[in-house]
Amino acid sequence: MTSNNPTAEIVDMEDVRARRRAGETAGGEAENAGGRLAAARVAAGFTLSEAAAKTHIKERHLEAIEAIDLEALPARPYAIGFVKTYAEFLGLDAADLVDRFKEDAGYVAPPAPEVEKFEAAQNAAETGNRELSFMTVAAILIFFIWCAYQITLLDEEKRRVPAAGLPAAGEADSAPATEAALPAGEAIEVQVVERIEPVYPMRCMDNASQTETVDVLFNVTATGRVYGESIVRSTNACFDEAALNAIRRWRFEPLRSEGGPRAAYDQRASLSFNRPQ
């Protein structure tokens, strides 16, 4: 029987595809992390290409996250970082989504060394006939000696390298980290080689000004990676975590002296968040 109704139902195919990737239950709740992210993106009115442009994550990686397609994703640490950034962009609970994604992807964290040592000791007590070999004991001792040596080196470097100040007004975007001074006769080579712009957290928009600023204090290792990051000043605490996430992904050309690359301490950068149009 032919219907006389001239109208046709319009179906949002993007929403349908997102729901299929989500693997929804009969009650409508997404069963996996990828589905929850896809549903949140569609509800927010973003296409995959728009979300990729705003998060600086490749569109094929976002699509793989929504589909839990591990073969299309990079190594585990990068995939987990992408999921956290994607969740923050959509205003979701990043920690919860990351945990769910790890479960969906079958990622199992390796047991901590402390757990292994405890279990080994427990097994030795229960069986009464297992002992640590000489090589194991020697390896543990060498590890602790190495850790103590590294801590001593870090303390010495921190005493020798003075703190660097904040960039001058208007230079926050062009020079996010100032150069640390070195003793006379040593070259200074502190340069940003990879700067990741922060993702504007949509959950903060309702209570945010047109522009919010977060100043971050951090150190740079001899390999150019950031560690020890902390907030120095913030106009809106809602943006602090997004600023720290961005700084952690920056890469630097480390300080160099006659002895080779060295760590730099008390570097500062100012990150701005402009309300999306």
Domain-located, residue 55: yes
Phi then psi for residue 265, to 5 deg, are -120, 160
How large is the average pLDDT for residues 67-77? 90
Position 189 scores a pLDDT of: 52
254 vs 271: CA distance, rounded Å: 21
Number of domains the chain is built from: 3
User: Are residues 171 and 270 located together in one domain of the fold?
Assistant: yes
231 vs 155: CA distance, rounded Å: 22
User: Are residues 195 and 252 located together in one domain of the fold?
Assistant: yes
Position 131 scores a pLDDT of: 59
User: Are residues 119 and 85 located together in one domain of the fold?
Assistant: no
User: Are residues 21 and 98 located together in one domain of the fold?
Assistant: yes
User: Are residues 150 and 238 located together in one domain of the fold?
Assistant: no
Residues 6+ apart with CB under 8 A from 245: 84, 85, 88, 198, 199
User: Are residues 56 and 118 located together in one domain of the fold?
Assistant: no
56 vs 197: CA distance, rounded Å: 8
Domain-located, residue 62: yes
Residue 216's pLDDT band (boundaries 50, 70, 90)? very high
User: Do the Cβ atoms of 204 and 274 come closer than 8 Å?
Assistant: no
Residue 1's pLDDT band (boundaries 50, 70, 90)? very low
User: Are residues 172 and 270 located together in one domain of the fold?
Assistant: yes
Lowest mean pLDDT among 95-99, 120-124, 144-148: 120-124
59 vs 191: CA distance, rounded Å: 29
- pLDDT top residue among 5 and 73: 73
Q: What integer best gives the mean pLDDT of the chain?
A: 76
Residue owning tokens 């032919």: 2
User: Are residues 73 and 169 located together in one domain of the fold?
Assistant: no
Residue 173 pLDDT greater than 90, yes or no: no
Domain-located, residue 254: yes
- pLDDT top residue among 156 and 79: 79
**CATH number, position 249:** 3.30.2420.10
Q: List the domain range (segments joined by +) for residue 89.
A: 13-105
Residue 257's pLDDT band (boundaries 50, 70, 90)? confident
Position 158 scores a pLDDT of: 53
User: Are residues 208 and 234 located together in one domain of the fold?
Assistant: yes
68, two tokens: 């839990």
**CATH number, position 63:** 1.10.260.40
Domain-located, residue 2: no
Position 165 scores a pLDDT of: 39
DSSP per residue, 193-237: EE-PPPPP-GGGGGG--SEEEEEEEEEE-TTSBEEEEEEEEES-G
Residue 181 pLDDT greater than 50, yes or no: no
Q: What is the pLDDT of residues 125-140, one digit of tens each?
A: 555 555 567 778 778 8
Domain-located, residue 5: no
Domain-located, residue 80: yes
How large is the average pLDDT for residues 160-182? 41
Quick check: helix, strand or coil at residue 267?
strand
Domain-located, residue 68: yes
| Residue 173 CB coordination number (10 Å) | 13
Residues 6+ apart with CB under 8 A from 163: 180, 265, 266
How large is the average pLDDT for residues 146-159? 67
User: Are residues 43 and 98 located together in one domain of the fold?
Assistant: yes
Domain-located, residue 1: no
User: Are residues 155 and 168 located together in one domain of the fold?
Assistant: no
In single-letter form, the type of residue at position 65 comes to I
- pLDDT top residue among 110 and 261: 261
User: Are residues 29 and 119 located together in one domain of the fold?
Assistant: no
Position 10 scores a pLDDT of: 46
Phi then psi for residue 26, to 5 deg, are -60, -30
38 vs 163: CA distance, rounded Å: 44
Position 14 scores a pLDDT of: 56
Position 231 scores a pLDDT of: 96
Residue 147's pLDDT band (boundaries 50, 70, 90)? confident
Domain end call among 105, 127, 151: 105
